[in-house]
Amino acid sequence: MAMMGSSISKYLSISLIAVPSFILLLRFLAAFPLPPEDVAVYPSLASLPKDSRSWSIYPENFYEGGNYVRFPFGRVRYWLFGPEDGQKIVLVHGLSVPAIIWKDVAPQLAGKGFRVLVYDLYGRGYSDAPNMSYSGCLYTTQLALLMQHVHWERAHIGGGIATSFAATFPNLTTGKVALIASTGIMESSDLSRTSKVMSSPVVQYIASSGIVHFFLQRLGAGEPSPNPIHEIVRIQSAFLPGYNNALASSLRHGPLRGLQSSFTTLSELKSDLLLIWGTADNTVPYRYAAKIQGLVPNSTLLTVQGGHHDLTVSHPDIVANALINFFHSSK
């Protein structure tokens, strides 16, 4: 009996060591990211037939200097134009509309001597849509790889993910950052009902599973919108399997909230920050401009009276002139 008790005690001791270790190993394996070859990649606008309305609204050659580059999580479409010896500036679009959103701003910057880089974020426009979490890490890494590809050591940055990128890769920026009605510190109460539904895990699963894709295609086949920006969003939602998942995941995991520390980092780095905001913005309310200024004292606010969220479309000259004046003198 004593020997049996000793054996039981021995096996119990081994179990107490082995079982937690085994569980920890399983958790590690489950949490460890899949290698790139195991990530499903959904196609971009480039996969749509040539009679699709997208080709007339937003063709591959929408800007000059267009090209593709293949990164671990899919192909990325970018355009590089303006004088080769001009000051370098990256313009990053927002949540749902690809680089077409810069159509009335980017050419003005190039015309004033800037070397302009615009591109489509993963899951939008002509960039592939990896079936993964659309976090700030994915977006900032995408831009860092793109800058390496075009051999840019540093650049001004304006638009979406600028806060995350400048705080994560300060050596890749000039220290001058422009934000246009920026997210980053939004409160959940300010998210629209649609955004809250889209960001739920259930909707994310449905969006990535393709369950509703057939019905979205039927909607996309309806009467086209006279607004080209609205139409390109509708086409992506209806005909690109990865687009809705990219939106849902971005709302849930992306840099819309929780960037207080990133803004604090910009303040510590003594970055120059330009904020451009419309007083009638119902997507990211105007009051967030003051909150960001509180986090980054070295910031300038340009207020667009009556302006809504898509200022690059509604007030392109104001936005372009503000960017030109702000970026013309490097730090």
| In the chain, beta strands by DSSP E | 41-42, 66-71, 74-81, 88-92, 115-119, 129-130, 155-159, 173-180, 272-278, 299-304
Domain assignment present for residue 130? The answer is: yes
Q: Domains in the chain: how many in total?
A: 2
> Are 20 and 135 in a shared domain?
no
Question: What pTM was estimated for this model as a whole?
Answer: 0.82
Report pLDDT digits (tens) over 161-212.
999 999 999 999 999 999 999 988 877 665 554 444 444 555 555 555 555 5
Whose CA is closest to 284, among 195, 183, 158, 193? 183
The token pair that represents 312 in the structure block: 């690059």
Pair 27, 48 in one domain: no
Residues 49 and 27 in one domain: no
9 and 56, same domain (yes or no) = no
* pLDDT for position 255: 80
Provide the residue range defining the domain that includes 118: 42-327
pLDDT tens, residue by residue, 199-255: 455 555 555 555 555 445 545 456 778 899 999 999 999 999 999 999 999 988 878
74-125 pLDDT tens trace: 999 999 999 999 999 999 999 999 999 999 999 999 999 999 999 999 999 9
Residue 148 forms part of a structural domain: yes
* 201 & 267 share domain: yes
200 three-class SS: coil
| Per-residue model confidence as pLDDT tens digits over 247-302 | 999 988 878 778 999 999 999 999 999 999 999 999 999 999 999 999 999 999 99
Tens of pLDDT, residues 30-75: 444 554 557 899 999 999 999 999 999 999 999 999 999 999 999 9
Does residue 37 lie in a domain region? Answer: no
The residues, ordered by sequence, that sit 6+ positions from 48 with a Cβ below 8 Å of its Cβ are: 54, 55, 235, 239, 240
Q: Are 161 and 94 in contact (CB under 8 A)?
A: no
Q: What is the CATH number of the domain that holds 174?
A: 3.40.50.1820
